Amino acid sequence: MSESVDPTPNATAIATKRGRSSAVGGRLRQAWPPVLVLVGVILAWELAVRYFEVKNYILPTPSSVIVTLFDRWDSSLQSATFVTLSEVAIGFALSLVTGIGIAALLHSSHHAQRAVYPLLIGSQTIPIVVIGPILAIIFGYNILPKVILVTLICFFPIVVTTLDGLASVDPQLKRMMRTLYGTRWSIFRRIEFPAALPSMFSGIRVAATYAAIGAVFGEYAGSSDGLGYVMIQATPQLKTSVVFSAILLLTLISVCLFLLVSLAERLLVPWAREGKK
Q: Report the alpha-carbon distance of residue 205 to residue 275 in Å, rounded.
A: 18
Task: Return the pLDDT at 276.
Answer: 56
Q: Report the alpha-carbon distance of residue 138 to residue 222 in Å, rounded.
A: 11
Task: Return the pLDDT at 236.
Answer: 94
* pLDDT confidence tier of residue 2, bands split at 50, 70 and 90: very low
Mean pLDDT of the chain: 88
Alpha helices in 72-143 (DSSP H): 78-108, 110-123, 128-139
pLDDT per residue as tens digits for the range 110-169: 899 999 999 998 888 888 888 999 999 999 889 999 999 999 999 999 999 999 999 988
pLDDT per residue as tens digits for the range 57-72: 999 999 999 999 999 9
Q: Judge whether residue 5 has pLDDT over 70.
A: no
Q: Judge whether residue 182 has pLDDT over 80.
A: no
